[in-house]
Amino acid sequence: MNHKVENVKIAYIGGGSQGWAKRLMNDLALEPRISGMVSLYDIHPEAARKNAEIGNRVSERPEAAGKWKYEATGDIKEALADADFVIISILPGSFDEMASDVHAPEKYGIYQSVGDTVGPGGMIRALRTIPIYKEIAQNIKAYAPDAWVINYTNPMTLCTRTLYEVFPEIKAFGCCHEVFEVQHLLADMVQEMTGRAVERRQDIHVNVLGINHFTWIDRASYQNIDLMPLYKEFVQKYAETGYEKEPGSWVNSVFSSANRVKFDLFNRYGLIAAAGDRHLAEFMPPVYLESPEKVKEWKFHLTPVDFRVKDQQMKVERNQKVAAGEENFELAPSGEEGVAIIAALLGLEELVTNVNMPNNGQIANLPHGAVVETNAVLRFNSVQPVLAGSLPVDLQGMISRHVANQEAVLKAAFEENRQLAFNAFVNDPLVAPIGLEQAEALFEEMIENTKSHVGGGFVRDRNAYASS
């Protein structure tokens, strides 16, 4: 008989989520070995209550093998009390602040395809996210110090880094699915180049090293095949046209690309860039993001915030129907690994996957303590990052610049040090070309647009906002 673990408690911070929460419900319902309770906490209690209704409806369905009780709460202490796992997936601020992150820099000729990790948008988003994560970390320390904490919020690196800065003993890591997509791409490559079908992306074994959304693979294999030479041939074949499983499909989704940026980076550095083109482009000088026309040439997209607003509204409307019992959603695996991670930490299986954790030597030539992304082995109550090795010196230089900026942004947020934050801001590869004077004007505008979420030390007239 298969072992089962009952009475597991998951605290979901951001439990009013219109996307991630549904993926969790799906995957929990399809996992027969675990059952328990999910406490949904959100600053928008009604959204959490709707999700609780949906979760309980899903759990009642006969095809739901995993049985869970969902409860909504506006009290984070109640959500965290006795939690075995804490999942964090929040939107820091609103779409208004996100619109500023992404679109304010366009007036200065800076284009961003995502705007949530690096670049001017990623940095300003971090400055308003870090205070939220300080508070979350303090609550976890007080009410759930032994829980495993799984972060999905971006900027992934700085969210995870903040948790450890506040609570060094926390058992936390960040999860990102970008590497999964590259495994799928490599599986497609194996099929095309060798005729051998790859049943699961997990059968593509990769060594991962870097920082979130600027992660690299220096070793890849499938069964007895070294994939690095094969990938070189694949890149040569598709460097100019790009590769898609269904040709032309990148045009139809703002989240899709033809992998041309990824292939160009391989030709530059000799390693497989293990993230989507939209993320990768933002870490580089404006080679790929020079203009909207240049973005189209590279066959990826700028993701406008108005698209996200409309997409969110569609999700809200659909979820209202599901909560009211007017519509069902199909129970199918989400492709995420959150529930597999929980199963591994409960001792039900062993899992190797990529995680974001403080560097304790897993990447030899990046700073100790900085949050890095590598594989880890997950077993009962254990997440052990693997020794991934060293980055090539040219990539080390690129990545170290971002690591230094992220550490400066963290320190600036904790100290409310405007000058330090600006110094990091202007050191970003997308910002540096516009010069100090324009960078100062852009920084001032973006800080003004997010002033209600950052400390008073960031605002020129401190007294005007000190009580907010």
- Residues 335-344: pLDDT tens digits? 889 999 999 9
> Please, where in the chain does CATH 3.90.1820.10 lie?
5-93+115-175+318-345, 94-114+176-303+350-371+392-457
Q: Which two tokens stand for residue 404?
A: 């230094």
pLDDT tens, position by position, 422-468: 999 999 999 999 999 999 999 999 999 999 899 778 876 433 322 22
C-alpha dihedral (244, 153, 434, 289), degrees to nearest 10: 10
pLDDT tens, position by position, 227-236: 999 999 999 9
- Integer Cα distance of 312 and 126 in angstroms: 22
Q: What is the mean pLDDT of residues 364-387?
A: 98
Q: What is the pLDDT of residue 41?
A: 97
pTM above 0.75, yes or no: yes
The answer on pLDDT for 68 being more than 80 is yes
Burial classification of residue 237, based on how many CB atoms lie within 10 Å of its CB (0-12 exposed, 13-18 middle, 19 or more buried)? middle
The answer on pLDDT for 1 being more than 50 is no
At the fourth CATH level, which superfamily is domain 94-114+176-303+350-371+392-457?
AglA-like glucosidase (3.90.1820.10)
CA distances from 296 to 106, 153, 257, 290, 302 (A): 16, 28, 10, 11, 9
Mean pLDDT for the chain overall: 93
pLDDT band at residue 84 using 50, 70 and 90 as cut-offs: very high
Q: What is the pLDDT of residue 460?
A: 67
Query: What is the assigned CATH class of domain 5-93+115-175+318-345?
Result: alpha beta
Q: What is the mean pLDDT of residues 385-406?
A: 98
Please give the share of the chain, as a percent, with pLDDT higher than 90. Answer: 83
The answer on pLDDT for 320 being more than 90 is no
pLDDT band at residue 363 using 50, 70 and 90 as cut-offs: very high
Of 44, 103, 177, 453, the catalytic one is: 177
pLDDT band at residue 332 using 50, 70 and 90 as cut-offs: confident
Peptide bond into 429 cis (omega under 30): no
- Integer Cα distance of 20 and 13 in angstroms: 11
pLDDT tens, position by position, 26-42: 999 999 999 999 999 99
Q: What is the pLDDT of residue 71?
A: 97
Q: What is the pLDDT of residue 371?
A: 98
Our answer to whether residue 177 is catalytic in this structure is yes
Residues ≥6 apart with Cβ < 8 Å to 328 = 61, 322
Q: What is the pLDDT of residue 467?
A: 27
Q: What is the mean pLDDT of residues 189-211?
A: 97
CA angle 391, 396, 401 (to 5 degrees): 150
Q: What is the mean pLDDT of residues 282-300?
A: 97
pLDDT band at residue 329 using 50, 70 and 90 as cut-offs: confident
